[in-house]
Structure 1
């Protein structure tokens, strides 16, 4: 399971090799208030200009902005735009190493956009480029730089903008060399022939690219899933992740059902470069060994950040953390419910957004590292985590006289302060079965010291198409153990017997 805080802390230890089409993105912002007297065209009164690293270079920028290191291998022309790009890459906080090959036969790809600042709309784009395949000598130079970089990276990205750098020879050479070292390869593809990416770990087409490559209409998510599986099988990659703009993302792995996550509800300002951010986050998550579905959720959150910015944007660790763990922004008291109707309203709102609801439960009398581990891993398995909390009377019946040590308000406050927890629901019964029946979570989470057949509510969740997930625990941590060490262990008089092989919580 994914402990997102731990993975964020590991980002500075990662290094990703990015190979692809480098571009210079230039933006001219201004106001349009009149039509030219020379021709029926708008006149833009220029207010400001921006220059940014674009194309595959934006993937590298996103990797660096997340605190990881990146080695970028690409091609520029022998011109001023190429020099501008080299200088810009060199200024990226010392975490980006640019291995650029100069090709005198082509200009540096450059895109100039004119944007109405008031309406945030693009008026015109001018391109300078020569999208032809590299010559053999330049291919050889690119592959040499790739071979030199591979020993020091933990993942590889191929960012294909169809400008000529990722020729079949370069693509196959990079994938073969990376997989030979056990390094995952993430591909942002172009064109209709995905077979040149055979052997890649993950290919990430958007809806339009998937439709063109599969040559089939994509009317709904079922059609997207079917096309993704067909293309995954035919291309010889391990998995396919389809970005669906306002409809989120869909992941298809071999032998598994498709997994869909909805887009975060945000105001979209500019989608330029959002796919680059997605690829960067996916590569970093895979570099750290994260499962693909968890990597997709992190990438989906990152995309929702950058589409709210203007221009070719990047995402920071703090922005990603706040979007993955949205409950961090809520006051603790807003996350505690004693009333079933209030619980229904909150969960109904989440379901309307297509969010995946998770549930776990416990007494949480004295919060310890074992509790925190289970809660953070449970949150990684869903979009919103509801924690069922036994009332004081329930704890007393289960644990005996002298328990709980802390009353239900104190226990709920501590849980609600955790960023992994989205909602705390107090229940009076000995087990949470009635709460589970009401909630109908898609994911039911318990510690791995349980067996699946011991988990209360398993039948309810599985009958509704959900799953039971057992997460890792921290050995040696329990409330009873803490009380024994302090010499305050209460008797368990009247408490029900534990299942065979179970330890007290």
Structure 2
């Protein structure tokens, strides 16, 4: 369950040590309307330019944007690009740059020429020395890493194959982290996963994964099979394969593989999306999130990142909005009357591979206890259906004086909540038949119930679904609120 109220303060207490290849990303935006008279080459009429911290530096920026602290160890040259990067990182109060300067090589710099109108990349120019750091510089980098390790909660190695993450630095970092009980996440570049032996988690994209495993793994099942073989060689706890529009597949060494579909989103720029994924995973795991929650958060963050131009960072507020989207439908579009047709919604969500959750109640007077359960329920799934007792059903359960509000009013209040994707009114005393129709992946109730008391738990258990109990807020009860209101009237 992705509980933002609990995770937010936990995230702010975490410090991530990020080590990797730093680069300066420059984007020149303009349009091409003619060919150069000097050569058969298009001429871009530059309109504006933007400079961003790129490569592993973008990982650091994403860590800071999420509210955690980051100590960043990287390499720059003795040039303007290096000084620009150092100043940009130092300007963020949550980032502590520990940069080693190598005068013999340029700071990695990439200039992208982009069509302003079509948001397409037309050309990229690179300044770089893609070679391992010299022995002297390598030792300075290792010394910097080992000095910072005791101060951090988790380690993230961001490998762009530009020279920082040498075999020796990787080995010494992972070994030292293990001795201190620190987990290590690696966004790998080398196809030799054994190079990262002992890391907690590797996060290759599908192309990198197929090259490393020498497989054509295409489905989640095939990926899981190939990943388990790779993990044995790399001696890591889990492996995550990112697959762009196909979503992500996480394979833990212990337990079942988890696949999440990509969020439907208009892709504007994929630059740095992998950085965002790695940063979110590190922050979430450091804050105590499970594999499942960290994966779902990273997947949502990737959707936010690719919807932005350039090298983008994602804030915790943006992540929250993606996971708990605003109610963009009118209330009447989110309400299904008793006996109404749920299939169009269910078919669409199942086709997209979304995880459907379900909870239910009378919701006669909506109070903070209800809101907590609904928000927590939505955090445990991709789409939340709320079963709502009809007026006749409430009367049978609660007595002739209830409900205080009719079913339409109650449904409209629920439908206005961002956590609720659909309200399904049911006429029976229990939602059992509704649960059988929906077959939710997760069935949620308040913690004042035991698992055995949750209506429909046998149904959900039968196909491997999850039953989730949410701790309730003490002192909040519709019955007591109604009683107090009536006492006040008398």
Q: Same fold (TM over 0.5)?
A: yes
What is the aligned partner in structure 2 of residue 173 from structure 1? Answer: 172
Q: What is the rounded CA distance, in whole Å, between the counterparts of 2:237 and 2:334 in structure 1?
A: 39
Write the mapping of 1:303-318 to structure 2, written as runs, cut at 5 A. Answer: 303-318=302-317
What is the aligned partner in structure 2 of residue 354 from structure 1? Answer: 353
Cα displacement string for residues 219-265 of structure 1 (whole angstroms, at most 9, x for unaligned residues) = 33322222222222321111111110011111111232221111111
Cα displacement string for residues 334-363 of structure 1 (whole angstroms, at most 9, x for unaligned residues) = 433225445322222222222111111122
What is the aligned partner in structure 1 of residue 455 from structure 2? Answer: 456
What is the aligned partner in structure 1 of residue 380 from structure 2? Answer: 381
Q: What is the rounded CA distance, in whole Å, between the counterparts of 2:330 and 2:157 in structure 1?
A: 42
Deviation at 1:58, TM superposition (A): 0.5
Cα displacement string for residues 165-219 of structure 1 (whole angstroms, at most 9, x for unaligned residues) = 1122222332333344443322111111112323322211100011011111123
Pick which of 182-191 and 171-180 moved more.
171-180
Q: Given that residues 327 and 421 in structure 1 are in contact (C-alpha distance below 8 angstroms), is that contact kept between their aligned partners in structure 2?
A: no
Pick which of 434-443 and 336-345 moved more.
336-345
| Secondary structure of 2:353's aligned partner | coil
Write the mapping of 1:193-272 to structure 2, written as runs, cut at 5 A. Answer: 193-272=192-271
Distance 1:288 1:330, change over 3 A: farther
Distance 1:176 1:405, change over 3 A: farther
Q: Given that residues 73 and 146 in structure 1 are in contact (C-alpha distance below 8 angstroms), is that contact kept between their aligned partners in structure 2?
A: yes
Write the mapping of 1:15-54 to structure 2, written as runs, cut at 5 A. Answer: 15-54=15-54
Cα displacement string for residues 312-347 of structure 1 (whole angstroms, at most 9, x for unaligned residues) = 111223322221111444444443322544532222
What is the aligned partner in structure 1 of residue 3 from structure 2? Answer: 3
Q: Given that residues 338 and 427 in structure 2 are in contact (C-alpha distance below 8 angstroms), is that contact kept between their aligned partners in structure 1?
A: no
What is the aligned partner in structure 2 of residue 125 from structure 1? Answer: 124
Pick which of 287-296 and 131-140 moved more.
131-140
Write the mapping of 1:323-334 to structure 2, written as runs, cut at 5 A. Answer: 323-334=322-333
Deviation at 1:112, TM superposition (A): 1.8
Cα displacement string for residues 51-83 of structure 1 (whole angstroms, at most 9, x for unaligned residues) = 211100011111222333221111111222211
C-alpha RMSD of matched pairs (Å): 2.5
Pick which of 162-171 and 458-467 moved more.
458-467
Q: Given that residues 356 and 382 in structure 1 are in contact (C-alpha distance below 8 angstroms), is that contact kept between their aligned partners in structure 2?
A: yes
Q: What is the rounded CA distance, in whole Å, between the counterparts of 1:212 and 1:336 in structure 2?
A: 48
Q: What is the rounded CA distance, in whole Å, between the counterparts of 2:142 and 2:483 in structure 1?
A: 62
Q: Given that residues 322 and 329 in structure 1 are in contact (C-alpha distance below 8 angstroms), is that contact kept between their aligned partners in structure 2?
A: no
| Secondary structure of 1:63's aligned partner | helix
| Secondary structure of 1:326's aligned partner | coil
Pick which of 200-209 and 359-368 moved more.
359-368
Write the mapping of 1:157-172 to structure 2, written as runs, cut at 5 A. Answer: 157-172=156-171
| Secondary structure of 1:125's aligned partner | strand
Deviation at 1:446, TM superposition (A): 2.5
Q: What is the rounded CA distance, in whole Å, between the counterparts of 1:204 and 1:130 in structure 2?
A: 25
Q: What is the rounded CA distance, in whole Å, between the counterparts of 1:199 and 1:482 in structure 2?
A: 56
Q: Given that residues 324 and 379 in structure 2 are in contact (C-alpha distance below 8 angstroms), is that contact kept between their aligned partners in structure 1?
A: no
Q: What is the rounded CA distance, in whole Å, between the counterparts of 1:135 and 1:253 in structure 2?
A: 36
What is the aligned partner in structure 1 of residue 423 from structure 2? Answer: 424
Report whether the alignment pairs 1:59 with 2:56: no
Pick which of 302-311 and 196-205 moved more.
196-205
| Secondary structure of 2:49's aligned partner | strand
Q: What is the rounded CA distance, in whole Å, between the counterparts of 2:471 and 2:202 in structure 1?
A: 30
Q: Given that residues 29 and 46 in structure 2 are in contact (C-alpha distance below 8 angstroms), is that contact kept between their aligned partners in structure 1?
A: yes
Pick which of 50-59 and 363-372 moved more.
363-372
What is the aligned partner in structure 2 of residue 500 from structure 1? Answer: none
